[in-house]
Amino acid sequence: MTWSLGAGLPSSLSLSSDGTISGTPTVPGGGCFEAYATDSSTPPQSSAQGLCIGINQPDTSHDALLTGHYAFLTDRLSHNGLKAPIAIVTAGSFVADGAGNVTGVSDTGGSGVGVAAQPFTGTYALGADNRGTLSISSSTEILRTYAFSVGSMSASGVATKGRMISFTAGPAITNAGGEFELQDPLAFSNSAVSGSYAFEFGRQIGVFTADGNGSINTGNADQPLTGAYNIAANSIDGRGTGTLNIAGTTVDFAFYVVSASKLLMVSTDPVTNIFASAYTGHALKQSGGPFNSSSLSGTSIFRTEELTAGLETFDGRGTVTVLRDRDASGAVTLGSTTNYCYSVSSNGRVTVTAAGTPVSVLYLVSAGTGFIQNADGSTGFFEPQSAGPFTETSIDGNVFFSNSVSSGVATLKAGAFNLTSDLNEGGTLIFGQSSQDTYVVAANGRATTGSGNHVIYIISPTKFVMVDVNPTNTPDITVAEQ
């Protein structure tokens, strides 16, 4: 018997004559490849098997920072930032033991893919700078590997949030960015999921009411909405299943409870009907209703999937001024300002118009916070800005961040920042890349970088968004927080 491998084996490993793969990994990452076995018969008979190997980083000094139940989701994006026409998306829950091991369950949806409630196991390593790697595998799916960064530490020293990218080779999950968040097990029941929720899911936004008994008995989106949901009794992972019926079309989904106020959703249907792709989404419990024009008063920072970030100033009486920066596949627009009118319904639906023509719809989660859907179908999110006026020292500190192709950490100090990034380049992890830049902050929280590559919008002293405006770079929006 002779053995051979196709491309993709990590460079630090090798294949011996008896089929053993061995070596000492030197760089975190991994790869997927074909293994071939050929016998000595005439003519020779051969067989091939796809394999994947994940390599975690050697530094495990901070593994204990990741301890507990976490819900996560990842979503593949196309090159221009819009949800890919054919996408592979995943949501799930994992338990980290604080010693480098995870167990969990996930749901994966997409074209030709639909794996529901798939148990997995895995390992992780978290270094002193809060950057880590994670590898998970199951009986039916290829090994999935991620780079991640964590922050938002609890009083007990546990990370409550993290951001992640997939770097597993292959078209199914290349360029997948995502997030994870510590779960509240006390909310793992139908009764805990109760009340009105604003949501963004499958390029649809709206609001639905969960009755606490498994029924979505009222709802409003751009089209009529009803549905149902169920979390299994004595759930240990916060997983639920549900259906939404929008204008006569039923969509099946799974969801994972972060808390009674936040659900992470993933579609489980084949890629058909009004959902022209597989999608993840969020449902956030509303507060502060019934709503009116004064629910939008002050400044919010927004970001949308068509790679636009900016600042909205609402006057509380029906007029909003929008300042935006955008990179539409290399067509960059910097610092444009437009005035619009808006009207607010009591359920939180907001219509934004220009000269009487609708340009976007918003659904409020709370005052100054909500989901966006623009006339081109793109969706996004906005949240209130706080603690202005701003200067270069307003965002001093350490942050963790991600976009669709990188995750990492950065240190910001008085107009200079140093980043350490882990990059996905075609399914290969480029680990620990360092870069530096400077930034100048305007009083309204809009900052420009010395390199000219990015525009930053400050949400608060602990959070900002950053849009890439270099027309030669791959467009992306980065979310960073402490």
- 237 in any annotated domain: yes
- Distance (Å, rounded) from C-alpha 349 to C-alpha 371? 10
Closest residue by Cα to residue 326 from 306, 341, 340 = 306
**Cis peptide bond prior to 475, omega within 30° of 0:** no
Could you give the CA distance from residue 50 to residue 221 in angstroms, rounded to a whole number? 43
Residue 29: per-residue pLDDT:
62
- 3-state SS class at 294: helix
Cα gap 262→379, rounded to integer Å: 18
Domain boundary among 17, 37, 55: 55
- The pLDDT assigned to 173 comes to 43
User: The tokens 């900052």 sit on which residue?
Assistant: 447
pLDDT in tens, 363-419: 999 999 999 999 988 899 999 999 999 999 999 999 999 988 899 999 999 999 999
Other CB atoms within 10 A of residue 444 CB: 16
Is 452 domain-assigned?
yes
Judgement on whether residues 325 and 234 belong to the same structural domain of the protein:
no
If asked whether residues 408 and 368 sit together in one domain, one would say no
205 shares a domain with 279: yes
Query: Within this chain, do residues 377 and 463 fall inside the same structural domain, yes or no?
Result: no
Cβ–Cβ under 8 Å, residues 321 and 339: yes
Q: Are residues 270 and 322 in the same domain?
A: no
pLDDT of the residue at 53: 66
Write out the chain's pLDDT in tens, 482 residues. Answer: 788 877 667 767 787 877 788 777 766 766 666 778 888 888 888 887 666 666 766 677 899 999 999 999 987 543 333 344 445 678 999 999 999 999 999 998 765 556 789 999 999 999 999 999 998 888 776 678 889 999 999 999 999 999 999 876 544 445 678 999 999 999 999 999 999 999 998 778 999 999 999 999 876 666 778 899 999 999 999 999 999 887 777 888 999 999 999 999 998 876 554 445 677 899 999 999 999 999 999 999 999 987 899 999 999 999 999 999 998 777 899 999 999 999 999 999 999 999 999 999 999 999 999 999 999 888 999 999 999 999 999 999 999 999 888 999 999 999 999 999 998 876 677 888 999 999 999 999 999 999 999 999 999 999 999 999 998 887 789 999 99
Q: What are the φ and ψ backbone dihedral angles of 64, each rounded to 5 degrees? A: -65, -15
Rounded to an integer, what is the distance from CA 80 to the centroid of its chain? 16
Looking at the structure of the chain, the number of domains it has is 4
pLDDT at 270: 64
The whole-number pLDDT of residue 78 equals 37
Burial of 339 (0-12, 13-18, 19+ CB in 10 A): exposed
**One domain for residues 280 and 192:** yes
What burial letters (b/e) apply to 85-118, b meaning 16+ CB within 10 Å? ebbbbbbbbbbbeeebebebbbbbbbbebbeeeb
∠ CA 343-346-347 to the nearest 5 degrees?
105
The reply to whether 357 and 447 lie within a common domain is: no
| Cβ contacts of 234 within 8 Å, gap of 6 or more | none
- Tell me whether residue 301 is in a domain: yes
In a domain, 148, yes or no: no
User: How many of the other CB atoms lie within 10 Å of CB of 392?
Assistant: 16
Residue tagged 């990179």 (tokens): 327
| 332-357 pLDDT, tens digit each | 999 999 999 999 999 999 999 999 99
Give the tokens for residue 354. Answer: 């220009």
**Beta strands 477-481 and 463-468, pairing class:** antiparallel
pLDDT digits 0-9 by tens, 130-155: 999 998 888 776 678 889 999 999 99
Q: Can you give the pTM of this predicted structure? A: 0.87
Chain-centre distance for alpha carbon 455: 20
Could you tell me if residue 94 is inside a domain? Answer: no
Does any domain span residue 178?
A: no
The whole domain housing 227 covers 186-285
Q: Which two tokens stand for residue 416?
A: 């200079």
Of 384, 387, 419, the closest CA to residue 403 belongs to 419
- Parallel, antiparallel or unpaired: strands 280-285 and 297-304: unpaired
Domain boundary pick from 285, 317, 350: 285
Contacts 24+ apart (CB under 8 A), 374-380: 374/304, 374/306, 376/306, 377/203, 378/82, 378/203, 378/304, 378/305, 378/306, 379/200, 379/203, 379/205, 379/304, 379/305, 380/302, 380/303, 380/304, 380/305, 380/308
DSSP 33-59: EEEEEE-SSSS--EEEEEEEEEE--S-
Q: Are residues 247 and 299 in the same domain?
A: no
Cis peptide before 58 (omega within 30 of 0): no
Q: What are the phi and psi torsion angles at 294 (to 5°)?
A: -70, -10
Last residue of a domain, one of 236, 264, 285: 285
* Within-domain flag for 475: yes
For residue 290, is the peptide bond before it cis, meaning its omega torsion is within 30 degrees of 0? yes
Asked, for residue 412, whether it belongs to a domain, the answer is yes
| Residue 318 belongs to domain with CATH number | 2.40.128
Distance CA 240, CA 225 (A): 19
Q: Are 146 and 173 in contact (CB under 8 A)?
A: no
Do 281 and 312 lie in a common domain?
A: no
Q: Tell me the residue type at 139.
A: S
* Alpha carbons 63 and 101: distance in angstroms, whole number: 9
How far lies 357's CA from each of 336, 340, 375, 379, in Å? 19, 10, 10, 18
- Measured from the Cβ of residue 171, the count of other Cβ atoms closer than 10 Å reads 11
Cβ burial of 457 (10 Å; 0-12, 13-18, 19+) is: buried
**Are residues 319 and 257 part of one domain?**
no
